[in-house]
Amino acid sequence: MSQTELHQLSVAELAAQLRAKQVSSVEAAQHFLARAKQHQNLGAFVSINEDVTLAQAKAADALIAEGKGGKLAGVPIAHKDIFVTKDFPTTAASKMLEGYQSPFDATVVRKLADSGVVTLGKLNCDEFAMGGANENSAVAPVGFDSAQPVRNPWNTDRVPGGSSGGSAAAVAARLAPAVTGTDTGGSIRQPASFCGITGIKPTYGRASRYGMIAFASSLDQAGPMGRSAEDCALLLSEMCGPDLDRDSTSLDYPAEDFSAKLNDSIEGLRIGVPAEFFGEGLSADVRTAVDAALKEYEKLGAKLVPVALPRTELSVPVYYILAPAEASSNLSRFDGVKFGHRAAQYEDLNDMYKKTRAEGFGDEVKRRIMMGAYVLSEGYYDAYYLQAQKIRRMIADDFQAAFKDCDVIAGAAAPTTAWAIGAKADPVSNYLADIFTLPASLAGLPGLSLPAGFGEGGMPVGLQLIGNYFSEAKLLNAAHRFQQATDFHLRNPAGI
Ligand code: GLN
């Protein structure tokens, strides 16, 4: 195997070659570490430690030599820097956690390590996963002295999406075969869409949140991002499963082999098409690509059925009340006492809190803490927080009504392709761009984005598939069948 082709292999292909000893884990790790350096202008990685990675790779090679090691033995991956890791620093892309070293691994990180993966490093993201363009990172990526926006490999003047922007850029540029991400309101699906890769957010509670730095606990979910549904299935099978002692919202529902049904026929699959996902606001180029993808599904035997998700528009105000409310509570732990940044000079305890938080948090994080504290405050709680909770339930009910008529729901993952870095300075325009990913998040449903074509400026378009609870295998099956018939997921950005 020529070294230049190693990064074009799928996770399954690479795992097979590792097991057959056609390539060693050390060689694979070295290859990807060299690529990360070569493409560090993208700002995808926030920490790399070659010694740690190569030691892990050596250990994987030793296990493989003994005929041991998990399913993914020796495969290098990278983690969003929102998962705590004992061998790499964890920052959540915030100054608040600069220099923080976790004494333990997040459950998802540990489970993947148990399956044999080797960690290449930690990936850039929006600060505390708040954002949709990865322009809110407050830490310097590898190779830089100061914070930089992550760049989209398809056009480095564009954003990669967010908050898992470093994760999506790394896969699109083939700096890692696959990666982890987290999705609170779209942070796996939207960057996957912007960077022309595949990503899935499982049913809320299927993957443990233990060791995932909390943003909005009732929404946060971990998931894999890779080139294809097949690769995502391999990782997801290792990431899911109960973690009842450590995560109070972990579901007592077993993981499954998500690769088992990938090839099932989708003849007769009923794809629900909500009019609300195709209205005003959806840009023409994205619509064209999504319509063509739906036609392709019809060719594969699926049937399109109209469904209604009448509260789609409300998902934006509902999410931007509930997520900040939870964030304001979760982020109260960053007070300069227990861990993280502490102001150097202060007068008394209150002053220490104030200065620490003023220095440690970026603008978007402060905005959310203020919004959250406001909607939870006496006198506003009923009008905002409680009302939003009620509508959240109705949004979930709307999905259940829709799933009476269909098996999966399809639409665009985002209303546009990736925009230019700096183009959306105003926070509300960023919030509005989340409209298609928020409904499934609020309902706790699994959602996937897969490459469905290209729009304006040759930028990737993602098709979102939403399924009912625990239908990850069905979503991956539908995505895989599409990927067997198309090659969007195999195309490389220029220069990659
Ligand atoms: N873009 C959304 C936000 O800013 C979603 C972020 C996420 O899923 N982590 O909150």
pLDDT at 70: 87
Q: Which two tokens stand for residue 242?
A: 């109960």
Residue 184 in contact with ligand 1 by CB distance below 6 A: yes
Let me know if 187 is a catalytic residue. Answer: yes
pLDDT at 316: 98
**Positive/negative CA dihedral, 208, 211, 212, 215:** positive
Task: Let me know the angle formed at the C-alpha of 88 by 84 and 94, rounded to the nearest 5 degrees.
Answer: 60
Residue with CA nearest ligand 1 atom 1:
132
Whole-number Å distance between alpha carbons of 180 and 470: 19
Which of 24, 47, 94, 187 is the catalytic position? 187
Task: Let me know the angle formed at the C-alpha of 329 by 327 and 331, rounded to the nearest 5 degrees.
Answer: 65
Kindly provide the residue ranges of all beta strands, DSSP E only, lying in 165-234, ordered along the sequence: 178-183, 198-201, 221-226
pLDDT tens for each residue of 334-350: 999 988 899 999 999 99
CB distance 24 to 18 below 8 Å:
yes
Residue 185 in contact with ligand 1 by CB distance below 6 A: yes
Atom of ligand 1 nearest to the CA of 184: 8
pLDDT at 3: 52
Residue 129 in contact with ligand 1 by CB distance below 6 A: yes
**Domain residue spans in the chain?**
3-239
Residue 224 in contact with ligand 1 by CB distance below 6 A: no
DSSP letters for 236-301: HHHHBS--TTT-TT--S-----TTTTTT---TT-EEEEEGGGSSTTS-HHHHHHHHHHHHHHHHTT
CB-based contacts of 317, cutoff 8 Å, min separation 6 = 388
Let me know if 10 is a catalytic residue. Answer: no
Q: What is the average pLDDT value for the chain, to the nearest integer?
A: 97
H-run or E-run covering 187: none
Atom of ligand 1 nearest to the CA of 441: 8
> CA-CA distances (angstroms) from residue 109 to 183, 211, 310, 417?
16, 9, 38, 31
Q: Which two tokens stand for residue 179?
A: 């990666």
Testing ligand 1's pocket by substitution, the residue of 81, 82, 126 carrying the most ligand atoms inside 8 A of its CB is 126
The domain 3-239 is classified under which CATH number: 3.40.50.620, 3.90.1210.10, 3.90.1300.10, 2.60.40.10?
A: 3.90.1300.10
CB distance 347 to 312 below 8 Å:
no
CB distance 80 to 125 below 8 Å:
yes
Let me know if 80 is a catalytic residue. Answer: yes
Q: With b meaning 16 or more CB within 10 Å and e meaning fewer, what string describes 11-27?
A: bbebbebbeeeebbbbb
What residue ranges of the chain have pLDDT lower than 70?
A: 1-4
pLDDT at 2: 53
Q: With b meaning 16 or more CB within 10 Å and e meaning fewer, what string describes 418-427?
A: bbebeebeeb
pLDDT at 4: 52
Q: Which two tokens stand for residue 426?
A: 């105003």
Residue 181 in contact with ligand 1 by CB distance below 6 A: no
pLDDT tens for each residue of 113-146: 999 999 999 999 999 999 999 999 999 999 999 9
